[in-house]
Chains A and B, each alone.
Chain A
Amino acid sequence: MNKRVLSKNTKMISHYFEHDADIGIIGRGSTIERAFESAAEVVFAIVTNLETVQPDISVAFEFEEENLEFALVTWLNLLLGKARELGMVFCHFRIHRQGNLWQAEALGEKWHADLEHGVEVKGATLTMLSVKQIGEIWEARCVVDV
């Protein structure tokens, strides 16, 4: 698990882009998987201040998807769905790709009143959706509905 501590949410400003009604998010990393993990952090940083979330509970899941861009949307929506189903907020993410199979793990804690209330993210969309390599960096982006 990538245990690196997130920088303050405000320092993540370069991970967002403009959309009229909602919010564009950008995840970046040295591999596709790291870019997906970064995208998940960016999404959950809209929900709360991730620095204050404890990675106490682990949730594992997997899904199949051959298309990289649909995989990004599926990954983010499964995370948001699991978080809501379990009443949790996630702060650390790991995903591993083996062919079309994506194995994922998210760590976080149950939602409680002491956590900073951000904005609920309802889901990732296909708008401005792209997963591409720019130089040595992979970039995963889409608009999330809030």
Chain B
Amino acid sequence: MDLQQLHQIQPYLWTLPLKPGESRKEVLLYGSKPLLESMDDKVLEQIANVASLPGLVSAAMTMPDAHWGYGFPIGGVAAFDAEQGGVISAGGVGFDISCGIRCLRSKLNIQDVRPHLSTLADRLFHTIPAGVGEEGLLKLDTKQLDQVLLGGARWAVQQGYGREADLEFIEERGCMAGAVPANVSELAKKRQRGEMGTLGSGNHYLEVQVVDRIFDTTAAQAFGLQENQIIISIHCGSRGLGHQIGTEYLVSMAKAAGRCGIHLPDRELACAPIKSPEGQQYIGAMNAGINCALANRQILTHLTHETFMEVFPNSELETLFDVSHNTCKIEKHKIGGKSRVLHVHRKGATRAFGPGHDTLPERYRAVGQPVIIGGSMGTGSYVLAGSSDNPAFASASHGAGRALSRHQALARWHGKQLIGELAQQGILIRSRSMRGVAEEAPGAYKDVDLVAEATEQAGLARRVAFLRPLACVKG
């Protein structure tokens, strides 16, 4: 990205000045100079388009890990006010509705796990359905799926997957209100019948990690984190159902936008007024998609726990937190000293409520919400805590962000060779797809350390701990 076109407001905050005749709200880009320089120009074009949508409040924003997405940039945040003609955008939520990360903490440490790491990786690979063509053990009919779409992780716990205690540490306590399964197509439900409890492929993973470094001892204590402790992160979403919802509503909203008098600078920004029948219908379907993702990660949590019990009898895995990064949520935010109810789109961005927020579990309320920035399989991930003065509708980064396209990665790395190189560094990869491994090469991602540092410096969230990968199951 050419920074000449930007104006730097603060060391980690930039804006795109309006061109003569241009009509849009403000654009704010959070990040360091090197991170912004490495971003594709498309990010700027896309976020400027978002800033032109009706009913946008304050500004359209990008997080430090932003990259070129669909209509919205990945790492894009935008809040809309329904009372001011604000819109809901399927492109602003993303195709993998409620894609997110479930982070589990164990009572094991690196010394306990290292001698059994290969066995653990093999067992997880055997148990967790991952990658193309793999189905879950559950086969649900439409009626059962409707229960999933209404109940989310709560449904999964009721079926015996995981524990009631997990729910407290999942956003929305594991169950998103306002889900309308009837707004989800039959094809979407059919796609999902065999996909509950599956990881998927692409950038999704299940990773065994070790707490390598603590940055904030108070928050780490609240999150139950200490150096050398074993952590598990599960990154996945609403699988085929979420994508089917996304694609179907994207096309129908793109067609409806004209009827609603909305000019779309990019069809992928397809949206409808929040108060319109089209908007309400999508919101009901999207909330159902969120519950699908929450249930999926809950089932995977259960499978992971069972596998750990096989290798380490009596081991306990507790949910540290489950946070989604492809959503639109109704939240109250103070704008100009007044509390307003907004529809906050986070496309590849994590909610990051600060200390004292009333929706946080009591255990974390004093330090803020756990925010998880997932890195590549060779570098590591970060746990952060939401900042009280977050200026971006309580949002933060969600990952490292790609530096190279999948095609470029495929041309540069070979899956088998990469697995060998990572093994020499003590990182075990288990995957059926060598193509998938090559596309997800650590070198294809930006420096996660820079993203986490910029996230903190921009006042979005505070670094709490760095997690180093030990074993990774990839789709």
- Chain A interface residues toward B at CB < 8 A: 16, 18-23, 47-48, 70, 73-74, 77-78, 81, 84-85, 87, 89, 111-112, 115, 117-120, 122-127, 129, 143, 145-146
Contacts and interface: CB of A to CB of B under 8 A. Distances in A.
A72 B378 CA distance: 37
B322 interface: no
A117 B432 contact: yes
A123 B133 CA distance: 15
Contacts of B67: 20-21
Nearest to A69: B267
Given A117-B435, A123-B244, A126-B70, 9 more contacts: A16-B407, A18-B407, A73-B247, A111-B133, A123-B247, A125-B95, A126-B71, A127-B70, A143-B70
16 contacts: A19-B68, A20-B67, A20-B68, A77-B244, A81-B240, A87-B135, A87-B194, A117-B435, A122-B200, A123-B246, A125-B95, A126-B250, A126-B270, A127-B71, A127-B268, A143-B70
B439 interface: yes
B124 to A, nearest CB: 17
B202 interface: yes
A49 B436 CA distance: 14
Interface stretch (B20-28, B161-169, B185-193, B306-314): B185-193
Contact of B247 (A89, A115, A124): A124
B42 to A, nearest CB: 7
Contacts of B423: none
A26 B201 CA distance: 22
Contacts of A125: 70, 95, 247, 250, 268
A20 B405 contact: yes
A81 B68 contact: no
A81 to B, nearest CB: 5
A20 B40 contact: yes
Given A122-B243, A126-B267, A117 B133 contact: yes
Contact of A18 (B194, B247, B408): B408
B254 interface: yes
Nearest to A145: B95
Given A117-B436, A146-B201, A129 B267 contact: yes
A92 B45 CA distance: 38
B405 A115 contact: no
B433 A119 contact: yes
